[in-house]
Amino acid sequence: MKLRIAVIGAGIVGSLISRELSKYDLELHLIEKNPDVGWGTTKANSAIIHAGYDDPPGTMRARFCVLGNELYGELSRELDFDFRRIGSHVVAFTEEEMEILEDLMDRGMKNGVQNLRILDREELLSMEPNLNPSVKASLWAPSAGITEPWEVAISAVENAMENGLNLHLNERVLEISVERGKVRRVKTNKGEYDVDIVINCAGVHADDIAKMAGAEPFDILPRKGEYILLDEDAHVVNSIIFPTPTKKSKGILILPTIDGGTLLGPTAEDLPKSKKDDLETTKDGIERIKRACLKLVPSLNFSRVLKTFAGMRAETKKMDFIIGKTKVWGFINVAGMRSPGLTAAPAIAKYVVEKIIQEDLGVGLERKKNFKPFRKRIPHIENYGLEEWEEVVKKDPRFGKMVCFCNKVSEGEIVEAIKRGARTLDGVKFRTKAGFGKCQGGFCTLRILEIMSRELGIPIEEIKLNNDEASMMNGKVRE
């Protein structure tokens, strides 16, 4: 009988672990309570692949951050997602902050970060002319990069599915049974799975899942982060700009997004455990971001705001990732994945499979001979030359029909996103970026719903924005 593994939570961590496991010959399940992958913390964070100088040497955060950063280049080529090493600056405004830069550099070198450099004011301003001219220096980390986190999760799951992963969406884990100290079965609102190993990647809810299994208890402390997104005309900075960090967080930063916008944020608001799903933006949060970012770039123009949003991060008391086996044999935690969780995830995926499962649990895994490492993204006109796109349209004319005009997303792409699993408007949007442009879906929302209705064979009014409560329409005007 094949080894049976269930991964709980299809965020960046669960997705990349699943993809890593799909290289081996086993029965693999990925269970996700949301209607799509990457809709928790993965959907709303700073999207940074950190260099790795922030965390103290010896922590898992430091170790996996540097390792994960190195893996992103190859991973982005295999899974065909956007990733660019644009570098990061930590900027200092005072003598004390300059001392902290030295500490960070020292820490980074101990962590194994390459090519760190302290830049003087002149060099910094030549690279980032919009910065507050009263800056004194920066710590420059060329290995830092940006990506689209949910694209990483989606691409990993698509690739894992091609290699045999069973994805279970809209499934909430209700019970984890343990027999004779070993994890035995996962019960969800839809079914039961007999398992040998369970990997807990449940994000802000990982503590609840660990409790279900009777593993050593821990607390996930939800920390909300709000953001402001500016449109593509803002052109504020060329790289990631951090203020000098405090003990609690890396601060409120400014960075370009992978598709040309500018992201400002996040705030860091610790919430009670009961508020893990509170993704509301607040007046205070937005004001705080504005103030902090104006200090970094005084000329910032808030008439370019496209939207605001909030994400939830999973902090822990020990201020480090919780990764490893537990007293329940076969139950593995990969929890507390706050920053640099996104960066660390590919390295953690390898660690879980190679170290925890194979060494710590002593379970031998056999590599598949026919593993397919490559996944191709949905064709998009902006990634093609005109002659090449002409060929794409010749094969399928729907790729010539634009639906989202702001981001030039074609009907062909919408149809392909549905084929690849999009069942909600957000599912289409996150796969194609339709509706993410300046008009924020004003022109394409109804057209996308129309295509979804046709392709899925369901009435247009039944399609949801994201979850079941998020209806878009209320029946016909008249029959």
Each residue 394-413 as x (binds other proteins by CB under 8 A) or -, in order, gives x--xx-xxx--xx-x-----
319 binds other proteins, rule: CB under 8 A: no
User: Could you write out the three-class secondary structure of 314-338?
Assistant: EECCCCCCEEEECCCECEEEEECCC
Question: How many other C-beta atoms lie within 10 A of the C-beta of residue 442?
Answer: 12
CA distance 214 to 197: 14
Nearest to 189 by CA among 206, 178, 173: 173
R_g (Cα) of the chain, nearest Å: 22
Which residues ranging from 343 to 402 are in contact with other proteins (CB under 8 A)? 381, 386-387, 389-390, 393-394, 397-398, 400-402
CA distance 338 to 360: 24
Q: Are 105 and 53 in contact (CB under 8 A)?
A: yes
Q: Which is nearer to other proteins, 39 or 81 (CB)?
A: 39
CA distance 303 to 306: 9
The single residue of 29, 50, 89, 205 carrying the catalytic annotation is: 50
Nearest to 199 by CA among 370, 17, 25: 17
Collapsing DSSP to helix, strand or coil, 177 comes out as strand
Nearest to 401 by CA among 463, 446, 438, 451: 451
For the bound state, the minimum distance from the C-beta of residue 440 to other proteins, rounded and expressed in Å, comes to 4
For the bound state, the minimum distance from the C-beta of residue 94 to other proteins, rounded and expressed in Å, comes to 31
Which residues ranging from 438 to 457 are in contact with other proteins (CB under 8 A)? 438-443, 445-446, 450
In the chain the first and final C-alpha atoms are separated, in Å, by 56
282 binds other proteins, rule: CB under 8 A: yes
For the bound state, the minimum distance from the C-beta of residue 38 to other proteins, rounded and expressed in Å, comes to 15
For the bound state, the minimum distance from the C-beta of residue 223 to other proteins, rounded and expressed in Å, comes to 17
For the bound state, the minimum distance from the C-beta of residue 268 to other proteins, rounded and expressed in Å, comes to 17
CA distance 320 to 116: 23
170 binds other proteins, rule: CB under 8 A: no
DSSP sequence for 67-118? HHHHHHHHHHHHHT--EE---EEEEE-SHHHHHHHHHHHHHHHHHT--S-EE
Q: How many residues bind other proteins (CB under 8 A)?
A: 56
476 binds other proteins, rule: CB under 8 A: yes
For the bound state, the minimum distance from the C-beta of residue 409 to other proteins, rounded and expressed in Å, comes to 11
Which residues ranging from 217 to 236 are in contact with other proteins (CB under 8 A)? 228, 233
CA distance 48 to 266: 12
Q: Name the segment binding other proteins (CB under 8 A); options: 79-87, 174-182, 191-199, 304-312.
A: 304-312
Q: Which is nearer to other proteins, 44 or 49 (CB)?
A: 44
Helix or strand run (H / E) with residue 186: strand 182-188
292 binds other proteins, rule: CB under 8 A: no
For the bound state, the minimum distance from the C-beta of residue 169 to other proteins, rounded and expressed in Å, comes to 16
Q: Which is nearer to other proteins, 187 or 398 (CB)?
A: 398
Q: Which is nearer to other proteins, 1 or 386 (CB)?
A: 386
Q: Which is nearer to other proteins, 302 or 329 (CB)?
A: 302
How many Å separate Cα 364 from the centre of its chain? Answer: 30
Active site residue 235: no
Nearest to 300 by CA among 359, 206, 229, 243: 229
The catalytic residue positions are 50
Note the residues at the interface with other proteins (CB under 8 A): 228, 233, 278-283, 285-286, 305-309, 381, 386-387, 389-390, 393-394, 397-398, 400-402, 405-406, 408, 438-443, 445-446, 450, 460-461, 464-478
